[in-house]
Amino acid sequence: MIVGLGRIGLRLATLAAAFGLRVIGVRRSPEPQPGIEAIVRPDQLHEVMAQADIVALTCPLTPETENLIDAKALAAMKPSALLVNVARGKVVDEQALIAALSEGRIAGAGLDTFVEEPLAAASPLWAMSQVIVTPHSAGETRAYETNVVDLLVENLGKLARGESVLRNQVV
């Protein structure tokens, strides 16, 4: 299951489908997309989480997605399921995730983003054998350096024009 079907989520769906995986997407506007078996609205999240072997988060951080993956959402997951967060740290309630992992209510997690970055040295996530921690590098590509400079220039222009909504803005 992929939560957030923007550019990154759709690309992940294409790759997953190429490997023969069933893909269910979660998106505010559930129009059909190639390679995705079903698309549901966020209010159906918990229903489809129970079916997922992997829950991948690629959504933006908005008021609606902050703590989207809370204790209730984690409880809806299969005990054998994995959570992968390449979205934003605040999409996941970290304390609820730590509890779910500690109690074996989900099998594991791959985490590229955290509420506070870098992840504190004292975080229990570091010591969990069923957790893979990466340093907010999921977006790194060969074109990253060029793209990040273009993004910076675009956002500086917006700020100079008095605009307050920026590209890739973190809430």
Catalytic residues: 88, 117, 136
Q: Of 110, 107, 126, nearest to 118 (Cα)?
A: 126
Q: Are the C-beta atoms of residues 75 and 50 closer than 8 Å to each other?
A: no
Q: Which amino acid is at 124?
A: P
DSSP state of 129: T
Task: Enumerate residues 6+ apart whose C-beta is below 8 A from 153.
Answer: none
155 C-beta neighbours (distance < 10 Å), count: 16
Q: Which two tokens stand for residue 69?
A: 């993956």
